[in-house]
Structure 1
């Protein structure tokens, strides 16, 4: 399977790419696509990033590709790390409205491009802030269950770490989730916390100790007071500010510590990338796993008896097809009230960004109205020559247009293709070729080998297979990257007009 990282050369995008390779989440036959803008600095930097990753991890690196046009984003998982970021400096305050207004166009542009040119099955992980705006915009175009925001999972990992640190254990021994809005309106769900090895009585005693007699009703006031105190202390001694954070309860530390990190002039790129890599790994693993994320709800959760229809962070089940269901038991009163407050904050944030409602949009097969970026081109000015703003071709839930032109979700016959591969005459060439196809779920109709050239160095391999044009192009690009392949020519063999793609000898 393949992963594309939009905004690959940014602080977070670069870390995401590095961790995907370093943690060996992608096998050597998978493809990591680094996506930049043709008219920006990233258009040049993606080439350098690719070279740097290969230098560092050549022994186990996947096939690493570079793309600039939205048309060329081909992946099973798309990580959205493009767009503006919040400032990281002392005294800086996050203007969520300005950030939302700017990045809304980034989200809309890429969503429209993926809907028009994608397979209709990509899982999108939104990393860029505001996460909730990204989820709302992309879910309306691509379908709610294919889009997950990373923020609630990062907050969950932070919450677990803070609890583990106070108990003197490792994070993997602590369960529990954070819901709500990513950032200051995060809602720590104390009722979901579990500690490995503790029975219900011990857990209840531990939670009373950790919470220090507090409820979540006063949590927003505590967060505001903590930030004001940190500004004053950090003006004299940043180290003292962090030591002050260490004295507070775990749920308050969950919000205050990363906020202080931005105030210090650093960023949280490493932790953000680690949480993102976790979610990518879950999707690629093929098994469903319980995580937390921001998603576009349509009544799966009820608060105070009212169904939630909009974007909210919740515990959910994530797998290869996206998220499938929400796992949220009835909450204690203080958690329910705080989650209602966070839901209201998300609605206000979306409205200020010009995103109406934030629900997942129309019925299956329908798509939300594209943003201005979708009409003008892709994020940051990457023009879409084929007009990505055409809503007729946008993918909704279960109604994605595939490469053969089917728009009603019905199966379409995949065309046949013939690939002529000129490969080196050495062990491993056929194995590597087969690996590229198998990891993308494409089987050979036939595979034959020709005579080895006169110099005995290379020979021809003929492969026939069925795939959508989009998948055929992805296979061609991946095969071309194999070290044992010199050239590839792929041509459609059905009655439709031929679509030859060729790469010159290397």
Structure 2
């Protein structure tokens, strides 16, 4: 009832709304009047407060649903929870972050039962980031006015408040960064900057790491102080969806009728686990028989990361040269597990800033699994505190997990001996990559200290 009255008062000043509510309060149960009205500026009520020319340190630009834009100062009280939830997208002004932001807003109806939803877009003060994020808010409100969540723009890490943090900042595979080794060089320091800057105000948050190398990203956020069971990398989740789609295309069935996991490292070293693949009982016996043949072939084929990497680089070079049809034909000739690993190179190297639609949608689906109130069996990059998964411990790896609103727990899973061996090999590769990234971070820290000493006091 109080909510109905609040809507009835829409457009009135705060004082007038309060007077009217008191006039009706005697006719309502006490509980209906207990919740205070939101600030007038949270709606379209009251006089418009002009935006400042410059954003104060720690301030946030707020776009309330069906309200006027305003700036919330660093020392002003922040409404949080209200029975709802907050999501922060780190790197929202980049091509990956923008696509994730759009997918999140589109999924607002899916999250409608969870109460008010706020999406905070986190960018930088340098360059055009603020302008791009304000433009993004304007476009999203134009497109999804009927159900758009509350939106915010933050460019200082101390202003970030979220229940779920999506780490999407940094370089991506592209013509400028052609290998995961290139991404280590580009992103190692970025992971350290954001993880250390966010943990103070968000130590209880769930973190979804989308940026690569995802294993190093997970380890960095855990090392910064985020809870181990609440930091997940999205790579294995996305790889599993790609694997199921390729199998489904070959069988002529929807991906939804298939289960199956990809574990190990994200990318070309991923380990598609044919032993985990199952087909829904809705499928015909002929489809089941065809799947068993594919599984038998897949389990008899030795996992060769070097061969997959060589093929991916060939596809990459063909795409960069403009031979898209020939590159696609080469990918289509491969078995389903190899196609799942390599097909991404057709889009990643088709041009600059190609929209990462698949990655964005899978990230939002994973978020749905976290928020749907149940445990979902899946795969994700996680750091394990025990050696219960193939003896791997101390660094992140794609593992079978149960995902819920509390984070993850390790899911029991029996694997073929060859799959176990491949995952253990992938874990060694991930550990070597992490050592390289840590060395890069140490080198950058030494450079910063040396530069600071040269600056006169």
Q: TM-score, normalised by structure 1?
A: 0.65
Say if 1:162 and 1:84 are closer, same or farther in 2 by CA, change over 3 A. same
Name the structure, 1 or 2, with higher relative contact order (CA <8 Å, separation 6+).
1
Q: Which residue of 1 aligns with 2:342?
A: 256
From 123, 130, 133, give the equivalent of 1:43.
130
Q: Does 1:191 align with 2:278?
A: no
Q: Which has the higher strand share?
A: 1
Check the 8 A contact 1:301/1:328 in 2, yes or no: no
User: Which residues of 2 match residues 49-128 of structure 1 at below 5 A?
Assistant: 49-88=136-175, 93-94=178-179, 96-118=180-202, 120-128=203-211
Q: Is the 8 A contact 2:99 2:355 kept in 1?
A: no
Q: Which residue of 2 aligns with 1:132?
A: 215
What count of residue pairs does the alignment treat as equivalent? 355
Contact 2:383 2:393 (C-alpha < 8 Å) held by counterparts? no
Q: CA deviation at 1:245?
A: 1.5
Q: CA deviation at 1:330?
A: 2.8
Secondary structure (helix, strand or coil) at the match of 2:333 reads: coil
Q: Which residue does the alignment assign to 1:295?
A: 382
Instruction: Indicate the residue corresponding to 2:82 in structure 1.
Output: none
Q: What are structure 1's unaligned runs of at least 5 residues? A: 357-368, 377-506
- Tell me if structure 1 keeps the 8 A contact 2:215–2:233: yes
Tell me the SS of whatever aligns to 1:2. strand
The alpha-carbon deviation at position 48 of structure 1 amounts to 1.1
CA contact (8 A) 1:146 1:322 kept: yes
The CA distance in 1 between the partners of 2:184 and 2:157, in whole Å, is: 21
Return the match for 1:311 from 391, 396, 408: 396
Q: How big is the alpha-carbon RMSD for the aligned residues of Structure 1 and Structure 2?
A: 2.8
Q: Contact 2:158–2:201 (CA<8 Å) still a contact in 1?
A: yes
Where 1:353 maps in the other structure, the secondary structure is: helix
2:297 alignment partner in structure 1: 212
CA deviations on 1:410-440 (whole Å, 9 max, x unpaired) are xxxxxxxxxxxxxxxxxxxxxxxxxxxxxxx
How far the C-alpha of 1:127 sits from its partner, in A, is: 0.6
What is aligned with 2:116?
29
Q: Answer whether contact 1:298 1:307 (CA < 8 A) is retained.
A: no
> Does the Cα contact within 8 Å between 1:188 and 1:251 map onto a contact in 2?
yes
Q: Which moved more, 1:257-266 or 1:43-52?
A: 257-266
Runs ≥4 in structure 1, deviation > 6 angstroms?
Answer: 199-202
Q: Retained in 2: the 8 A contact 1:210–1:249?
A: no
Query: Which residue in 2 is equivalent to 1:167?
Result: 251
CA contact (8 A) 1:160 1:171 kept: yes
- CA–CA distance in structure 1, aligned partners of residues 216 and 439 of structure 2: 7
CA distance in 2, matches of 1:233, 1:130: 24
The superposition leaves residues 469-503 of structure 1 with CA deviations (integer Å, 9 ceiling, x where unpaired) of: xxxxxxxxxxxxxxxxxxxxxxxxxxxxxxxxxxx
C-alpha distance in structure 2 between counterparts of 1:213 and 1:160, whole Å: 13
Is 2:334 aligned against 1:223?
A: no
Q: Secondary structure at the match of 1:148?
A: strand
The change in CA–CA distance for 1:81 and 1:333 in structure 2 (over 3 A counts) is: same
Counterparts of 2:400 and 2:285 in 1: how far apart (Å)?
21
Whether the aligned pair in 2 keeps the contact of 1:84 and 1:103 (CA below 8 Å) is yes
Q: What displacement does 1:268 show?
A: 5.9
Unpaired runs of 5+ residues, structure 2, are 1-84, 450-457
Which of the numbers 356, 362, 365 marks the counterpart of 1:269? 356
* TM superposition shift of 1:199: 9.7
Contact 1:100–1:353 at 8 Å: present in 2 too? yes
Gap change, CA 1:210 and 1:249, over 3 Å in 2 = farther
- Structure 1 248/98 Cα, relative in aligned 2: closer, same or farther at 3 Å? closer
Give 3-state SS (helix, strand or coil) of 1:290's partner: strand
Deviations, residues 204-226 of structure 1 (Å, cap 9, x unaligned): 76232355366353432431342
Task: Judge conservation of contact 2:251–2:290 (CA < 8 Å) in 1.
Answer: no
Conserved? CA contact 2:86–2:164, under 8 Å: yes
Give the CA deviation at 1:372: 4.8
Q: Does the 8 Å contact 1:26/1:62 carry over to 2? A: no
| Superposition pairs of residues 146-157 of structure 1, within 5 angstroms | 146-157=230-241
**Partners of 1:156 and 1:176 within 8 A in 2:** yes
Q: Distance in 1 between matches of 2:439 and 2:265?
A: 16
Question: 2:325 matched to which residue of 1?
Answer: 239
Residues 175 and 268 of structure 1: CA distance in aligned 2, closer, same or farther (over 3 Å): farther
CA distance in 1, matches of 2:333, 2:378: 28
**Cα distance, 1:26 vs. partner?**
4.3
CA distance in structure 1 between the aligned counterparts of 2:437 and 2:317, rounded to whole angstroms: 31
State the Cα distance separating 1:232 from its structure 2 match.
Answer: 7.0
> 1:250 offset after TM fit, Å?
0.4
Q: Distance in 1 between matches of 2:314 and 2:406?
A: 45
Q: Give TM-score scaled by structure 2 length.
A: 0.72
* Counterpart check, 1:343 vs 2:436: no
Is the alpha carbon distance of 1:42 and 1:236 closer, same or farther for their aligned partners in structure 2, counting shifts above 3 Å? Answer: closer
The question of whether the paired residues in 2 share the 8 Å contact of 1:133 and 1:350 is answered with: yes
Match of 2:21 in 1: none
